[in-house]
């Protein structure tokens, strides 16, 4: 974490490999502890990327139904990269994140989803929806003799592009009614709109996935949110915001607008957790490393406070 904290660069392309490489030895040192958490793979759909990993807590949190809560994590990757199991030497990345939240009491689930150029809008969000739906209908399949998943207490956290896919899943009118009931949403460092001043985001994988500029304006999360009625906004699951201290300026700006938009229409404050000294990439990789995990502990406390019982 010291290497990350010393690097003041915020450009995502410039800090990605540097950040991953900084955490590889830290996670490798803790491999034995991380791998104490049991992990199983399941297929949730028919496509080759329709698989998910389930991490099982040794000491589960307990919901008001006396069952174990569920946390989904949707990774990012710029719409055209990303996997629940990254190639060596980076394979411990999401393994450590899944283990971290399992160690805090949650069945933690990381699904893969289809990427650009295989798919266009809104296929990735459909995949996320399908993974959640599969779990809600197959709780017994993923259960163990000592752990009974509680599909009435499902939370979803999305990071970066994964956060965008999560927003679309919960806001797009063709998808929103088809999503199983969720207890909470965690939007971590994902764009709220795609044309912040001084940027040129509307190209490459983003343009391929969402379409030309006019379609982007219609499909970006903020536009979909603005189409919701006041009743639909208030019916959204409870929302937590997460952001690194050293996010790119444009991403911080869209994040501030997201918070303002939510608070204006909900009529209440929306909590935001800021990962101190973290850049866009480092928060997820810090989990399980023993360094820079404070933001994850805050998320775990927020989750546990919403289980309908004291834990």
Beta bridge partners of 244: 275
In the chain, the percentage of residues whose pLDDT exceeds 90 is: 91
Per the domain annotation, does 309 fall within a domain? no
**Nearest-angstrom CA–CA distance, 103 and 231:** 37
Q: Domain range holding 152? A: 2-304
Evaluated on CA atoms 38, 298, 61, 157, the torsion sign reads: negative
The reported pLDDT for the residue numbered 311 is 45
Q: Is 114 left (phi over 0), alpha (psi -120 to 50) or beta?
A: beta
Average pLDDT over residues 8-27: 92
pLDDT (tens digit per residue) in 210-259:
999 999 999 999 999 999 999 999 999 999 999 999 999 999 999 999 99
**Nearest-angstrom CA–CA distance, 303 and 125:** 23
Task: Tell me the CATH number at 226.
Answer: 3.40.50.1820
Per the domain annotation, does 311 fall within a domain? no
Output the CA–CA distances (angstroms, integers) from residue 146 to 59, 155, 310, in the order listed: 10, 21, 20
The reported pLDDT for the residue numbered 4 is 80
Per the domain annotation, does 178 fall within a domain? yes
Per the domain annotation, does 310 fall within a domain? no
pLDDT (tens digit per residue) in 175-222:
999 999 999 999 999 999 998 877 777 789 999 999 999 999 999 999
Confidence of residue 310 (pLDDT cuts 50, 70, 90): low
Average pLDDT over residues 266-273: 98
Confidence of residue 141 (pLDDT cuts 50, 70, 90): very high
The reported pLDDT for the residue numbered 194 is 93
Average pLDDT over residues 3-22: 88
pLDDT (tens digit per residue) in 73-125:
999 999 999 999 999 999 999 999 999 999 999 999 999 999 999 999 999 99
- Asked if the model's pLDDT at residue 3 lies above 90, the reply is no
Q: How many domains does the chain have?
A: 1
Per the domain annotation, does 224 fall within a domain? yes
């Amino acid at each position: 974490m010291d290497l990350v904290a010393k690097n003041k660069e915020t450009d995502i392309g410039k800090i990605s490999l540097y950040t991953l490489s900084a955490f590889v030895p830290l996670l490798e040192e803790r491999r034995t502890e991380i791998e104490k958490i049991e992990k199983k793979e399941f297929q949730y759909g028919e496509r080759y990327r329709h698989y998910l990993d389930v991490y099982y807590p040794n000491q589960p949190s307990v919901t008001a139904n006396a069952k174990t809560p569920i946390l989904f994590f949707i990774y990012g990757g710029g719409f055209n990269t990303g996997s629940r199991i990254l190639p060596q030497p980076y394979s411990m990345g999401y393994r450590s994140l899944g283990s971290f939240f399992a160690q805090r009491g949650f069945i933690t689930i990381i699904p893969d989803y289809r990427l650009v150029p295989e798919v266009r809008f809104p296929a990735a969000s459909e995949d996320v929806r399908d993974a959640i739906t599969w779990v809600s209908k197959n709780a017994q399949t993923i259960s163990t003799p000592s752990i009974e998943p509680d599909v009435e207490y499902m939370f979803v956290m999305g990071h970066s592009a994964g956060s965008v896919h999560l927003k679309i899943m919960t806001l797009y009118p063709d998808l929103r009614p088809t999503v199983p009931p969720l207890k909470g949403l965690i939007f971590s460092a994902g764009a709220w709109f795609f044309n912040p001043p001084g940027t040129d985001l509307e190209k490459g994988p983003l343009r391929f996935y969402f379409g030309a500029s006019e379609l982007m304006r219609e499909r970006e999360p903020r536009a979909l949110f603005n189409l919701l009625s006041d009743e639909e906004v208030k019916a959204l699951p409870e929302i937590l915001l997460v952001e690194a201290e050293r996010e790119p300026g444009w991403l911080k700006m869209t994040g501030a607008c997201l918070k303002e938009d939510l608070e204006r229409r909900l009529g209440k404050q929306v909590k935001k957790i800021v990962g101190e000294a973290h850049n866009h990439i480092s928060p997820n990789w810090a989990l399980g490393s023993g360094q820079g995990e404070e933001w994850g502990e805050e998320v775990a406390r927020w989750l546990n406070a919403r289980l309908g019982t004291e834990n």
